[in-house]
Amino acid sequence: MHIWNAPTFVDRRGKLFKAYVEGPVPSFPEVFVTFEHFFTESKKNVFRGLHFQGAPHSASKVVTIVKGRAIDFLLDVRKTSKTYGFIQIQPLNGEEPHSIYIPEGVAHGYISLEAGTIISYRQDKAFCGNCDGGVSGDILEEYLPLKFEETIRSERDSSLQQFSNFIYQSKCTG
């Protein structure tokens, strides 16, 4: 994982920030080819995740906070990794934008701390629903500002498997 401050330029009109820069003075040490770019907008106390796209179409992501405040969580689910099970936590604030590179095999999620929080996602592969994986965010309860059961989650996120029972099984045939 790699975290960087987005270069930000402020003037009387407002601000411009560059979430990702490639070239002579890059913001990230590798070229990241974007296949998809999408945004989420969340109400306060929405928990999204922990999601990843596994084999055979594993994907990396760059996420950037655009507006609001959130706590971002990463969980290494690569069983062969020396950091397997490691949780990384990054506070996010739209007033001081950061971008986070999330490598293949690392699950990502966040909790929004205020209404209207917007997160930008750039992914280097097409979304594959059959390769979509996830782990329940309940493993993060001690890091949340409220009980996990009180967070607002999708039906899918509410049914993700516990990390202690985690087994990734792709449904992809190609």
- Quote the number of domains for the chain: 1
Which of 51, 98, 101, 108 is labelled catalytic?
51
Q: Is 51 a catalytic residue?
A: yes
Q: Is residue 166, in this structure, part of any structural domain at all?
A: no
Is residue 170 situated within a structural domain?
Answer: no
Residue 167 forms part of a structural domain? no
Parallel/antiparallel/unpaired status of strands 61-67 and 106-112: unpaired
pTM: 0.87
* 103-148 tens-digit pLDDT: 999 999 999 999 999 999 999 999 999 999 999 999 999 999 999 9
Strands 36-42 and 69-76: unpaired
Q: Is residue 37 among the annotated active site residues?
A: no
CATH number at residue 100: 2.60.120.10
Looking at 20, 121, 143, 168, which residue is catalytic? 121
- List strand residue ranges (DSSP E) for the chain, in order: 2-5, 8-11, 14-17, 36-42, 47-53, 61-67, 69-76, 87-93, 98-102, 106-112, 117-123, 132-134
Considering the domain boundaries, does residue 63 fall inside one? yes
Mean pLDDT of 45-69: 94
Q: What is the pLDDT of residues 5-55, one digit of tens each?
A: 667 777 776 766 666 666 555 566 667 788 898 999 999 999 999 999 999
Domain that holds residue 77: 2-161
Question: Does residue 174 lie within any of the structural domains?
Answer: no
